[in-house]
Structure 1
Amino acid sequence: MTTRESRHVGPTPAALTPAALRQLLGNGNAPRMLDVRTPGEFRTSHIPGAHNVPLSTLREHRAELLAHLDGDVVLVCRSGGRAAQAEQVLAEAGLANPRVLDGGMLAWEAAGAPVRRGGARWDLERQVRLVAGSLVLVTGIAGLFLPGVHLIGTAVGAGLTFAALSNTCAMGMLLSRLPYNRGPRADVRTAIASLRARS
């Protein structure tokens, strides 16, 4: 699931396969890679040379970031959903032809591509599954003794259905703000300094 965003409208974002990105990185034509996952997810594993600019930071500071980006930008997330939303944000801000890593980090790692790893953390989608599942389980059991409590689980189920249909996730957005998922790299000044250093 992805953090809450408006649905992508218009053409499908240009995708770049892991093999094509590896070739670009290997022949010296490396694009700017923006990893739009949470800082916690980024610290767990990321493509060497990628810059962490969480989706919420990218949206809020798109104009500032745009001044440090050229047209050769590849957006990365866990599976491609958040990166597609980031592509829409940047395209609307005026960046020409940003691309999305097809399949995200899941596809990159499955292809055996190089990854820089840190301490293990749960990715945002796994956290959403834990919280949603726990709410449904607890309210379902409590509903056996307290009439009406089970409706909380029903509301969670309705929210997850809406999240899937609209490619948004309010729970994911809220969880991304927890200290576990935040870190110093979420700061836009740090992201811009990182982009300047690689210019």
Structure 2
Amino acid sequence: MSAKRTAPSITTAVLRKLTEEGRAPRLLDVRTPAEFRTSHIPGAYNVPLHTLREHRAELRSHLDEEIVLVCRSGARASQAEQALAEVGLPNLRILDGGMNAWEAADAPLKRGPERWDMERQVRLVAGSIVLTTGLVGILVPGAHLIGTAVGAGLTYAALSNSCMMGVLLSKLPYNRGPRTDISAVIAELRSAA
């Protein structure tokens, strides 16, 4: 079993300075298309985590310079880094704090229609299940155990840095949006080289 690597991070301030100087690295945003459309760093390429995992070998031949991986907070970017490192990409960095930090620094953004991010959706669904089963449990013995199972799932999600509820929610039409055309992304990467 191989040890889990952690790519070096890059701060918002450093990335912003590089961008302003015209020396920006390639930015791969691994969030869902819906999250990307809501807001993203200008010049970023949207390659959702599941698409990146599926096409990492194809992407590898078009990513020969420094790459910064971006997600909401850093968790998905870390998973993307692992996947790309497995195909031999050594020049990977993760935006420290992700889009949360970028937005907090009031850095330039390209905005689209507002949508709830995945973490907020998970909190809504998990909280609703726990609240509903807690109330129903007053009348129906054992119903509260569903809420307990959700709590156990959230605990596992925190410990494993993965979230099955988030994966399931990402499959909803609200979160999917148009599928990322990997051929178009690769063509853009090729032409920008």
TM-score range, shorter chain: over 0.9
> Is 2:132 aligned against 1:108?
no
Which of 115, 124, 133 does residue 121 from structure 1 map onto? Answer: 115
Structure 1 letter corresponding to 2:11: T
**CA–CA separation in structure 2 for the residues paired with 1:188 and 1:179:** 19
- Contact between 1:73 and 1:99, CA under 8 Å: does it hold in 2? yes
Match of 1:46 among 15, 36, 40: 40
Q: Which one of the candidate residues 167, 173, 184 is aligned to 1:179?
A: 173
Question: Is residue 2:179 matched to residue 1:193?
Answer: no
Contact 1:53-1:185 at 8 Å conserved across structures? no
For structure 2, the 5+ residue unaligned runs are none
Cα deviations by residue, 1:101-131 (Å, 9 ceiling, x for unpaired): 0000111111121001000000011111111
- Shift in Å, 1:185: 4.7
The amino acid across from 2:153 in the alignment is: G
Q: CA deviation at 1:188?
A: 2.0
Checking the alignment, whether the CA contact within 8 Å between 1:76 and 1:105 is kept in structure 2 is yes
Match of 1:3 in 2: none
Please tell me whether residue 162 in structure 1 is matched to residue 137 in structure 2.
no
Tell me which of the two structures has the higher relative contact order, counting C-alpha pairs closer than 8 angstroms and 6 or more residues apart: 1
In structure 1, the gaps of 5 or more residues are 1-7
Q: How many residues align?
A: 192
TM-score (norm 1): 0.91
Identity of paired residues, percent? 69
Among candidates 76, 82, 105, match of residue 82 of structure 1: 76
Compared CA separation, residues 190 and 142, structure 1 to 2 (3 A): farther
Q: Tell whether the 8 Å contact from 1:35 to 1:54 is kept in structure 2 after alignment.
A: yes
Relative distance call for 1:175 and 1:9 in structure 2 (3 A) is farther
Once residues 181 and 160 of structure 2 are traced to their aligned partners in structure 1, the CA distance between those partners, rounded to angstroms, is 28
Q: Does 1:133 align with 2:138?
A: no
Q: Structure 2 counterpart of 1:58, which letter?
A: L
CA-based RMSD = 1.5
Q: For 1:171 and 1:71, how far apart are their aligned partners in 2? A: 35
Q: Amino acid of the residue matched to residue 74 of structure 2?
A: G
Choose the corresponding residue for 2:143, options 149, 161, 164: 149
Q: Are the aligned partners of 2:5 and 2:82 in contact in 1 as well (CA < 8 Å)?
A: no
Amino acid at match of 1:31: P
